[in-house]
Amino acid sequence: MPAPAHLVDRDPQVTPQQMAASLVPPPQFTDASFASYRPDPEYPSQAQVRDAVSSFVAAGPADTPRRGLFGRRKPAAETTVKSGVYLDGGFGVGKTHLLAAAYHAASGRKTFGTFIEYTALVGALGFQGTVDLLRGTALVCIDEFELDDPGDTMVMTRLIKELTETGTRFAATSNTPPGALGEGRFAAQDFLREIQAMSDRFETMRIDGLDYRRRAVDESARVVSDVQGSLPNGTVTLDDFRAVVEHLASVHPSKYVAMVEDLDAVGLTDVQAFTDQTDALRWVALVDRLYDAQVRIVASGTPLDQVYPESMLHGGYRKKYLRAASRVVALTRA
């Protein structure tokens, strides 16, 4: 068996055109549909939201908001039309599945991407270039909507405002676990003023339930003593965990999708808990891309769901860390 390659050697170059072309559901949701969604009977909101999102998509795009003399929009169009649905809930309740199902069921031009992929597109094309690219899209799906960075949040509010005024509709998801700031609301108080207009455009749907990745048994991320010997056949990488974390600092998060492309597994030796929050957040972004691509993780050292100290778990990024912890449990036990 040849020696594994190294993740730290990967620094892909991604063009704006490639970024735009990648705005489709991840491979694991290629066949996602409303029929294949399996709601937990213990939580009726899951089936209710499934049916509501299905009805939203089936209704088709609303008429482009009417404008009066001198281009001013008539008030009735703004107050009576909800141009989006926002799925609010904890981890592992099927929000991304429903978002992908909406994408597949929608007619016309459509896009699907994470919040960070859309903001990266704005960074590459500029705000107006992104508006021009997405104008005419019938449905824009935004997974993992983030409210941590006020700059990115305001960019997305402007983008949504510009596109809804030309008839584009939106579907979005976000995680709000118990204890997280903004629980049960569209946004945390700090950003409420900035995104109030966007909130008014969406119908918020709450999904309750347990994390399906941990529904059967409360497990931790798996660790092994011999990482290289435990790697599966296929295209794999082997690196020291800290080296990977350092490498992430030199690669823009918009490239993480390409960085893990075509990998079957990544091997990580000597996993250690984080001491720097910036490093932890970059790792979370990589975990999201590994999960989307269903890349197995084989690791030694500290279990990967236990790398966030209590000080981080009680901070403003709690929801991101808990999402990543849930996902690495699944990836190390794949």
Note whether 100 and 199 are same-domain residues: yes
**Which of 195, 210, 225 lies at the terminal end of a domain, its last residue?**
210
Note whether 205 and 219 are same-domain residues: no
Hey, what long-range contacts does 27-32 have (CB within 8 A, 24 or more apart)?
27/292, 27/293, 27/294, 28/292, 28/294, 29/96, 29/97, 29/100, 32/97, 32/100, 32/101, 32/104
CA distance 229 to 238: 11
The CA–CA distances, whole Å, from 215 to 40, 210, 273, 295 equal 10, 6, 26, 21
Kindly give, in sequence order, each residue whose CB lies less than 8 Å from that of residue 158, ignoring residues fewer than 6 positions away. Answer: 127
pLDDT computed for residue 149 by the predictor: 66
Query: Does residue 85 sit in helix, strand or coil?
Result: strand
**Which of 145, 180, 210 lies at the terminal end of a domain, its last residue?**
210
Look at the chain and report how many structural domains it folds into: 2
For helices 127-134 and 115-125, give the axis angle rounded to 10 degrees. 110
Cβ atoms within 10 A of the Cβ of 237, count?
A: 22
**Which of 210, 243, 269 lies at the terminal end of a domain, its last residue?**
210
pLDDT computed for residue 218 by the predictor: 56
Phi, psi of 73 (to 5 degrees): -75, 140
Note whether 263 and 274 are same-domain residues: yes
Note whether 222 and 276 are same-domain residues: yes
pLDDT computed for residue 69 by the predictor: 31
Q: Which two tokens stand for residue 127?
A: 């705000």
Note whether 285 and 243 are same-domain residues: yes
CA distance 172 to 217: 29
> Which residues of the chain carry a pLDDT beneath 50?
63-80, 177-186, 188, 191, 215-217
Which domain, by its residues, includes 285? 7-14+213-332
Note whether 293 and 183 are same-domain residues: no
pLDDT computed for residue 170 by the predictor: 94
Instruction: Decide if 21 is inside a domain.
Output: no
Note whether 284 and 242 are same-domain residues: yes
CA distance 251 to 260: 12
